[in-house]
Amino acid sequence: MRKIIMKHFFTIAGLAFLAPAVSALTMCPDASYVSGNKCYITPAGKYVGEGRPKIAPDGSYVGGGQGVRMAPDGRYVGGTGSIIRCPDGSYVNGSVCRIAPNGKYVGE
């Protein structure tokens, strides 16, 4: 049996649109939000998403698996995708800034 990725289909005024499927946004035990399906706790007691925490050169921890890269504002972000600027001026890894219920942006 083939696996099908679900996308939402809707119509507005007779025009059909296909909205992309939304990836997971997970609330961690400290009420922060991370991208992905799982929260990973860092040795500093904060939570990151998208893979085991990696230590950055400044001593902070980032999620995102393999990469640790510096954003234009001097902070570090994890992951291997694009670093993008969100409306509040923060930088995240991904192709879209998604606002979490706590008002902070998470990349996906």
pTM listed for this prediction: 0.72
Q: What percentage of the chain has pLDDT greater than the value 70?
A: 79
* Domain extent for 41: 24-107
Contact between residue 21 and residue 8 where contact means Cβ atoms under 8 Å apart = yes
Number of H helices, E strands in the chain: 0, 14
pLDDT higher than threshold 90 for residue 22: no
Query: Within a domain: residue 14?
Result: no
Contact between residue 33 and residue 26 where contact means Cβ atoms under 8 Å apart = yes
Average pLDDT over residues 53-71: 90
Between 108 and 85, where is the model more confident? 85
The string of pLDDT tens digits covering residues 77-97 is 998 889 999 999 999 999 999
| Number of domains present in the structure of the chain | 1
Structure tokens that stand for 85 in this block: 């600027």
Average pLDDT over residues 6-29: 55
